[in-house]
A and B are shown apart, each in its own frame.
Chain A
């Protein structure tokens, strides 16, 4: 077996985005020996790209707002498939988590009377997103990063974790990985592990996600035997850049629409008025005049349809483009230039202004942007207990995007940053409790460690095999084409066949060069997770024969009330087989159900 370095802690957190940082801070502050392990440099995780804001019913702009309204918006946005208890905890605790960031140094934009300003976003009844211009994610990650440093958390940067290993009693006991700079192996043993590894979006061709979003945590949990839920629900954000091709998929914040931007087709028409679904008709404006009045008067007007939940808007854009009414580069127009002053746009949306100016040569204060759907967020993930974020594997917790349940079939914009904080903290508490209660030193078998090392180094020892870049490109093309925004049974079945072929090709991967900072090798070690999450997504998508939230089936265009009562639970068996079982959703208590009965009138 190759030499390796080893470290022992009470709690290991894998992933240093918002959820991982928040979990680690909590565990460290509770006195546990805590370490944070991340694939990039500290402060570069995908949270940094979040733009619009963090949703929390603080009621600073609209005193009518409260947690019940936020809870209701979240459940309806998720097409009622959310874990109700997670949605409740999220809505109740988000304001405290935002105020906590302020005590740690975050500088949010302010109201006239000096409180935290809140902005409008799709699916939220009231202006609810605490924000800093359009760089809220940067503010959040920097605040947490600085807090993590202040409380003295050990951070292991540029370390890729390959596998989680369990002891003889089935408790997760070690994380095996390697340093990207040196290529040397490392093992972290601990009493409790928190996965906070973010998204799976890199399996698609056009995505807002960075190279890191390869579903490492999703896959490692599944390989360790954890239940996975709702994996078919992948959010395609309605507005990504479409041109130049090299930037296709990069996010354009929903804040553009929250601040007055509208969507138009090639005929100049605000087409979203044609796509208002019955579920949201009662609260959506049906004339442009009413929609425009709403920005200043939420009480007497209904919201414009551009601010419907993301799944609705993404599907509508897709239809317009397919109907031949798209923009020159295959998107639609997002116009804020004709609706707000240049000064306002530059102040509210500075990074969008910068991004379009520098990457596309487009001045968004003068002309419309071209935008189209981009793979953005995984609603599904590791099944967790609502209050503790415990997975179904002892010693393993999950928070943030790699966990499932909170967002149901579709996530509302702004609910991700608050999700990270609320459930990152809760995972930190529960992991600490678990670690304190765990007896005996964590132990794993040498043979299992050696097997992980051998699998990781195999591509380096092979020559004339498959290039990891070729497999990644083919995987992305497959998922984009066959498991994209609109799905159908024959294409999903074809995707499974393609995934089988890709998996075979992965067995003969070869990479050249040394182990030190070798991106080809790094990618080769990311591919197994990418294939696993792609397979989970596709299998779930086949069985969910309905259209709901982020999952749209061309062959089953309507929601199925039966399927609306179940999570699709998937497991990977020890011999690599995938199983799938529908299981009933947790039942919402009667007092919360009444919040939805108001819809009747």
Chain B
């Protein structure tokens, strides 16, 4: 077989450049395999993340020929033959080194999601009854492997660092929708979504859905329904009146907000900005 040329971004926060590596082609390989051979040969310190090598953990996200993809699931023989394969780090996150980026933004946002507050059990033994059709809605979102490629491709934050303080992003929106559709949950996160998570900033270009390796319909099944629910909650006069006069079964946004662990946690986004060195706990 012919050689494969891999053009890999090498650098650190101070800058970097693309470097070409020419490697013998091996049948059936994925992009990550070639990178591993580069590490074992010409560039032993080439930095990239990976774990499962089977598309299940979401560690090895990168931009391959300009498109976000998992390096472990991108077969070399499915890319254009005879052309260099360009591998760059995800652009939305700060560089640590080479293909490794600081994805702590996502972990900081995850801390602000008020957790599940389950209703009372259905059976005397403390267990619940849920129908398959009802769990399947949430299961779609729980397929998420946290590769953060939807965050990477989202133009609200891709070139707008300033929006990261007020925008949860597609990954967190599907987490909100998962909880919103969870058969056991009693929390109401709609006002939090509207006021602090920047749901309104998404203008439904569906870029996130297109790159999702788990084929989660992020826009259609999570973001759009969330927008509808938030609008209903905030502006529907009947719902407003209902909240005023009827006994509430769900708690208000203020209560839900107060429940978010980030408010009390020492490593929340309220503290100093986490540095890549210490991951999400660096600010303590």
Chain A positions within 8 Å of B, measured between CB atoms, are 5, 7, 35, 40-46, 48-49, 99, 102-105, 107-110, 113-115, 117, 132-133, 135, 137-139, 142, 146-147, 149-152, 154-159, 179, 181-182, 184, 186, 210-212, 243-247, 250-251, 351, 354-355, 358-360, 467-470, 473, 511-514, 516-521
Contact = CB atoms under 8 A, between A and B. Distances in A.
A459 B130 CA distance: 56
B163 interface: no
A210 B261 contact: no
B281 A35 contact: yes
A445 B36 CA distance: 39
A154 B267 contact: yes
CB-CB nearest 5 A-B residue pairs: A244-B28, A513-B45, A157-B279, A114-B129, A520-B44
Contacts of B102: 181
A149 B110 contact: yes
Contact of B130 (A49, A114, A351): A114
Given A154-B284, A359-B73, A115 B53 contact: no
A135 B216 CA distance: 15
Interface stretch (B93-101, B218-226, B234-242, B248-256): B93-101
A259 B127 CA distance: 26
B280 A155 contact: yes
Contacts of B184: 102-103, 105
Contacts of A113: 129
B36 to A, nearest CB: 9
B39 A41 contact: no
19 contacts: A44-B52, A44-B58, A49-B57, A107-B135, A110-B131, A132-B139, A149-B261, A182-B278, A244-B28, A246-B29, A351-B56, A355-B55, A467-B40, A468-B44, A513-B44, A516-B97, A517-B98, A519-B47, A520-B45
A184 to B, nearest CB: 6
B33 interface: yes
Contacts of A210: 50-53, 57
B264 A152 contact: yes
Contact of A154 (B30, B46, B75, B281): B281
Contact of B276 (A104, A107, A150, A181): A181
B16 interface: no
Contacts of B275: 182
Contacts of B138: 107
A247 B76 CA distance: 13
Most buried by A among B29, B102, B146: B146
B62 interface: no
B215 to A, nearest CB: 9
A469 B184 CA distance: 49
A42 B107 contact: yes
Contacts of B199: none
Interface stretch (B80-88, B111-119, B189-197, B200-208): B111-119
Contacts of B267: 154
B57 A246 contact: no
Given A157-B281, A179-B277, A358-B73, A512 B129 contact: no
Interface of B: 12, 26-30, 33, 39-40, 44-59, 73, 75, 96-98, 100, 102-103, 107, 110-111, 115-116, 118, 126-132, 135, 138-139, 142-146, 179, 182, 184, 261, 264-267, 275-281, 284
A243 B26 CA distance: 12
A138 B56 contact: yes
A520 B39 contact: yes
A103 to B, nearest CB: 5
Contacts of A179: 277-279
A212 B51 contact: yes
Given A44-B59, A181-B277, A473 B27 contact: no
A403 B76 CA distance: 40
A152 B261 contact: yes
A159 B279 contact: yes
A147 B111 CA distance: 10
B47 to A, nearest CB: 4
B58 to A, nearest CB: 7
A33 to B, nearest CB: 11
Contacts of A46: 51-52
A103 B186 CA distance: 12
Contact of A108 (B57, B135, B278): B135
A114 B131 contact: yes
A90 to B, nearest CB: 20
A568 to B, nearest CB: 32
B261 A150 contact: yes
Given A49-B52, A470-B40, 10 more contacts: A40-B59, A42-B107, A44-B52, A99-B127, A103-B118, A103-B184, A117-B132, A138-B143, A156-B279, A245-B27
A246 B54 contact: no
A138 B110 CA distance: 17
Contact of B44 (A48, A351, A355, A511): A511
Contacts of A104: 116
A247 B53 contact: yes
A155 B126 CA distance: 31
Contacts of A519: 39, 44-48
A43 B107 CA distance: 10
B277 to A, nearest CB: 4
Contacts of B33: 246
A425 B5 CA distance: 49
Contacts of A473: 40
B10 to A, nearest CB: 10
Contacts of A146: 110, 115-116
Given A48-B52, A149-B261, A246-B28, A517 B100 contact: yes
Nearest to A39: B51
A250 B54 contact: yes
Contact of B142 (A107, A149, A157): A107
Contacts of A245: 26-28
A157 B103 CA distance: 11
Most buried by B among A46, A107, A154: A107
A105 B279 CA distance: 25
A415 B277 CA distance: 36
A470 B41 CA distance: 9
Contact of A99 (B98, B100, B126): B126
Most buried by A among B54, B102, B103, B107: B54
Contacts of A212: 51
Nearest to B135: A107
